[in-house]
Structure 1
Amino acid sequence: MPTLSADLRLGYVHLTVSNLERSLAYYQTALGFRLHRCAGDTAYLGAGGPDLLALTERPGAVRHRCTTGLYHFAILVPSRQELAQVIKRVAETRTPVQGASDHLFSEALYLGDPDGNGIEIYRDRPREQWPCNAQGALQSDTLPLDFEGILSELPSSSELWLGLHSQTVLGHMHLHVCNLPETLTFYRDVLGFELMIDWNSALFFSAGGYHHHLGVNIWGTQGASPAPPESVGLRYFTIHLPTQAEVDAVIARAQAANATVEEHPAGQLVRDPSQNGLVFTTN
């Protein structure tokens, strides 16, 4: 069975939005993203380092429910204190929150942007604290978030928050898919991800023993079709591997499995069985 490098990392996620000005205001004001640059109808945002998020405007685009595509993208902040800063900012701006959970290996806040694109902002516990069962399998749960404990991490001084920490990264992606057995075969047996957690209706994959770089689910999307091209939502996200040889090996396996593979300005785009787009490139 193929495996992916433990040095795999995610790069950025590219979304379609209906109103770029509105989306930029949301991501910058409520969540602390920085605008890196604009190119035509596309804006690139992050935390001052590599791009984490690209937004392309399609006026009139709408969200289509019960389709495959984005469930949420997950922004990983480097510490519990940084998560506290985000929570404080969200409260100060009265930004609606969709949920908040303790997953044992992480603590997470869930939101939706003005177009309904799902967002998770989370921090990881140290890996040595991740719980495993007697067989060594990673354990997870969905428990209430300890807001009081997290907010106690805030600095005592009232210094101005300058936005997301420069070490913030795209931690994982979570996708709606139409068929779990096909998806398992594709991500594990073709691409080479390791299956970390199986919730029956959702699967979580990673490289290098991380809790998950990728989640997939069939919550309301069993047998569903992709959203029409004019929809808001996921265009693609990038996956970075250390060498071109590793990228070439992934692409060769995808082509051998008759997956759709396309040349892309950011690398090589592969479509999973639910037509979600992954762009493989090098670090």
Structure 2
Amino acid sequence: MTDVSFAATAPTYVSKIGIKAKDADLLSSYYQDVVGLREISREGQSIILGAGETPLLEIEQATVRADDPQSAGLYHTAFLLPERADLARWARRAIDKRTPIVGASDHLVSEAIYLTDPEGNGIEIYADRPHEKWTWNGSAVTMATEPLDVGNLLTEATAQPWTAAPDGTMVGHLHLRVGNAKEAEAWWHKELGLQTVAAYGAGAVFMSTGGYHHHVAANAWQSRGAGRRDNDRSGLAWAEFSSADAKEEREIIDPWGNVIRIVPAKA
């Protein structure tokens, strides 16, 4: 990447997501056709997708039951586009193709459009506003969920149509379903050194490193009291984080069975 998003300048950030699929080819087609990722390679039963030459999503064919939205697991994977104009071009194409969406929000720090893939995995496509314009109150960043001004966004669309996720696209953040947001907050603080930047009562927490608005969110909106995730469910297989503090690769598991891989940051 030549222009690195602010999210990736942090000491620890999301680098890749792995999901288990009942039909990996179907999901691969969706993430290519709708999200704009491209197939980079295939390894055994897995399809690796990314932007440019950067792998972002690994889809593993597995014999699994459908995900349970009231259990712990993946709430959504958030793909961060480099520029607002990229989001505008994506939105223009989505409108032209009548792509089903489940929401569109202005979060003050970012603008986002939400989807659900054919196996129920949540997706966010978003672009950040300049981080210099975010509002902070001490260690807390001001975020909201307001309607997205789609008309204003589309004024950024260029004459060049959307064809694929551009170089520099990354997984900006990971949003998880957990049984207890406060317990998740303590775990991420201890295990990866994330700091809390926002919370919504006892139901959701947003955390990051390096002054980003959030690299990880955890909510118990649908999954309050959930125990460990069933291994034979589709959905999240693992999440990979790049860390400047990591000396070697390691794997840890959160209280709900979500697998977190930590890899050393590339120089």
Same fold at TM > 0.5: yes
Over aligned residues, Cα RMSD in angstroms? 1.7
Q: 2:228·2:255 contact (CA, 8 Å) conserved in 1? A: no
With 137-146 and 177-186 compared, the bigger mean Cα shift is at 177-186
- Aligned equivalents of 1:38, 1:84: Cα separation in 2: 31
1:149 and 2:131 equivalent? no
**Equivalent residue number for residue 139 of structure 1:** 142
Select which of 245, 252, 255 maps to 1:270.
Answer: 252
Pairing 1:53-92 to 2, within 5 Å after superposition: 53-59=57-63, 61-92=65-96
Deviation at 1:184, TM superposition (A): 1.9
**Equivalent residue number for residue 15 of structure 1:** 19
Match of 1:114, SS state, is coil
Residues 184-227 of structure 1 deviation map (CA, whole Å, 9 limit, x = unaligned): 22111343111100111100110011000000011121111233
Q: TM-score, structure 1 length as denominator? A: 0.86
Deviation at 1:102, TM superposition (A): 0.4
Instruction: Mark the CA change 1:114 to 1:142 in structure 2 (over 3 Å): closer, same or farther.
Output: same
Amino acid at match of 1:44: I
Select which of 218, 221, 245 maps to 1:219.
Answer: 221
Q: 1:108·1:120 contact (CA, 8 Å) conserved in 2? A: yes
- Aligned equivalents of 1:216, 1:112: Cα separation in 2: 18
Deviation at 1:89, TM superposition (A): 2.4
Unaligned runs of 5+ in 1: 252-266
Q: TM-score, structure 2 length as denominator? A: 0.90
Deviation at 1:146, TM superposition (A): 1.0
Deviation at 1:45, TM superposition (A): 0.4
Q: 1:31·1:90 contact (CA, 8 Å) conserved in 2? A: no
- Aligned equivalents of 1:93, 1:127: Cα separation in 2: 32
**Equivalent residue number for residue 6 of structure 2:** none
1:97 and 2:101 equivalent? yes
Deviation at 1:274, TM superposition (A): 1.7
**Equivalent residue number for residue 4 of structure 2:** none
Matched residues, number: 256
Match of 1:95, SS state, is coil
- Aligned equivalents of 2:63, 2:183: Cα separation in 1: 34
Deviation at 1:59, TM superposition (A): 4.5
Select which of 183, 201, 204 maps to 1:202.
Answer: 204
Instruction: Mark the CA change 1:63 to 1:6 in structure 2 (over 3 Å): closer, same or farther.
Output: closer
Pairing 1:174-189 to 2, within 5 Å after superposition: 174-189=175-190
Q: Kindly, what percent of the aligned residue pairs are identical?
A: 35
Q: 1:76·1:123 contact (CA, 8 Å) conserved in 2? A: yes
Pairing 1:25-64 to 2, within 5 Å after superposition: 25-59=29-63, 61-64=65-68
- Aligned equivalents of 2:92, 2:61: Cα separation in 1: 29
Structure with higher Rg: it is: 1
Residues 109-129 of structure 1 deviation map (CA, whole Å, 9 limit, x = unaligned): 110100010000110000111
